[in-house]
Amino acid sequence: DAGITQSPRHKVTETGTPVTLRCHQTENHRYMYWYRQDPGHGLRLIHYSYGVKDTDKGEVSDGYSVSRSKTEDFLLTLESATSSQTSVYFCAISEAGTGDADTQYFGPGTRLTVL
Amino acid sequence: KNQVEQSPQSLIILEGKNCTLQCNYTVSPFSNLRWYKQDTGRGPVSLTIMTFSENTKSNGRYTATLDADTKQSSLHITASQLSDSASYICVVSAGKLIFGAGTRLAVHP
């Protein structure tokens, strides 16, 4: 998984509780992404980062926030988890944001269940 | 609207047989197209990448084709193996990545 780890790998939580997922990379790639994957849907971008402290929203950002204080770490926070946020979350990294160097390398995923 | 549609949704084949997965896209402007393989419980892994000017790219038993005029791509798997059982995701780059929903392939002995 290209030097990318995600923690935790599995989490069960209750509606209304805050949840933070962590992505750590050892590749020194500039770009980092958070996706969610649900049955019948393609991977959908939640947020991405193009550098330390530089982040932007993706197509499904409502209810999520992110932070990147170091090149290697990208955190995804659900401020108040809802059942609709039950999903598998993938972190990805890339050297560039567009063009031929924009191949994204994915982490192993975090399975989140919100009861 | 930028979309990537894959067919079939799922497919079962016998070990040793060939198969072809389809990807149609309505994405503009087009930069490149990738096929990813996603094993159960793992993150997707890139198999091939093709730019606008390329119409075929191979990676071992995997061969991807691209027709930029009709906006269609296919992934052909030759002499399938049990380890080919996975989801295959078509991804089109157009400033941002547009993901298809994937085709789930099961290879049976």
Q: How many helices (H) and strands (E) does chain B have?
A: 0, 11
User: Residue B44: is its pLDDT beyond 70?
Assistant: yes
Kindly report, residue by residue over A35-79, the tens digit of the pLDDT. Answer: 999 987 889 999 999 999 999 999 899 999 999 999 999 999 999
Nearest to A34 by CA among A86, A97, A109: A109
Q: How far apart are CA B74 and CA A114, in angstroms?
A: 37
Q: What does the pLDDT average to over B44-72?
A: 93
Q: What does the pLDDT average to over B76-85?
A: 97
Nearest to B102 by CA among B33, B47, B22: B22
Q: Which residues of B touch A50 (CB under 8 A)?
A: none
pLDDT at residue B67, as a whole number = 93
Nearest to B3 by CA among B21, B22, B27, B23: B27
Look over chain A and give the mean of its residue pLDDT values, rounded to a whole number.
92
pLDDT at residue A45, as a whole number = 93
Q: What does the pLDDT average to over B54-61?
A: 94
Question: Do A106 and B51 lie within an 8 Å CB cutoff?
Answer: no
CB pairs under 8 A between A and B: 51
Question: Do A106 and B45 lie within an 8 Å CB cutoff?
Answer: yes
Question: Do A98 and B95 lie within an 8 Å CB cutoff?
Answer: yes
